[in-house]
Amino acid sequence: MKPKKRLRRMVVLTLLAAIIVIQNVVPFLGYIPIGPLSITVIPVTVAVAAVILGPRAGALIGGIWGVIDWIRAFCWPTSPLAALVMVNPLVSVLPRILVGVVAGLVFRRFRNQHRQLGAAIAAGCGSLTNTVLVLGLIYLLYRGHAHALYGVAVHALLPYLLTVVATNGIPEMVLAMVVVPPITWALARRGFENGSD
């Protein structure tokens, strides 16, 4: 990679990492609290990284988000539930890394056919990866503690989590699919795209 391209890539990565930090620290920029949970808009930033710079960069930005989220669970959790389940890096870090990987790989598959549609599908898949993995891992790892964590019986945990998918996951996915394509299109037009990693 040419030095100029490498520098440009590092600048974009640094800016996206700074945006992730800001979204995690400034209230209502990354998480919109609704009841005991919160709508997460950070997958948009991770998907932008994955579409513009590729799956490895998406994984890096997602990993930064996951580590910050993991630390937040100990210090200043985004919800009462986060203090109980996000202290587990399998729930807080791993899904966030995979958001970037999935979004980057999906975009790589579709980018030559229709760039904007590919970016939308990649963003939707990335956001859905976050929702499915976080809630799925909560179900697998914490279903024995469902009553203590959620105030619901074990047999009602799956319907409860599916309700969260419908009320939080779907709006998060739609938001990502609407917002990511114009952002990545504008960045690509200015020469910031390099999905070769």
Domains of the chain by residue range: 3-189
Distance separating alpha carbons of residues 16 and 19, to the nearest angstrom: 5
Q: Residue for token digits 């992730």?
A: 20
Q: Which sign does the torsion angle of CA 120, 121, 124, 130 carry?
A: negative
* Contact status, residue 118 vs residue 195, Cβ threshold 8 Å: no
| 166-195 confidence digits (pLDDT tens) | 878 898 999 999 999 999 999 888 877 765
Q: Chain-wide mean pLDDT for the chain?
A: 86
Structure tokens at 172: 């998060």
pLDDT of 149 > 70? The answer is no
| 12-69 confidence digits (pLDDT tens) | 899 999 999 999 888 788 877 776 666 788 999 999 999 999 999 999 999 999 999 8
Distance separating alpha carbons of residues 31 and 5, to the nearest angstrom: 33
Can you count the helices (H) and strands (E) in the chain? 10, 2
Structure tokens at 112: 């030559």
User: Which architecture does CATH list for 3-189?
Assistant: Orthogonal Bundle (1.10)
Q: Residue type at 75?
A: C
Distance separating alpha carbons of residues 46 and 144, to the nearest angstrom: 32
Distances from the Cα of 196 to the Cαs of 53, 55, 56, 120, in angstroms?
Answer: 7, 9, 9, 19
User: SS3 breakdown of the chain: % helix, strand, coil, rounded to 5?
Assistant: 75, 5, 20
- Give the predicted TM-score (pTM) of the model: 0.87
Q: Which has more pLDDT, 38 or 140?
A: 140
What torsion, rounded to 10 degrees, do the Cα atoms 183, 185, 191, 197 define? Answer: 90
Q: Residue for token digits 């700074």?
A: 18
Q: What is the mean pLDDT of residues 100-127?
A: 94
Please report the pLDDT score of residue 111 as a whole number. 85
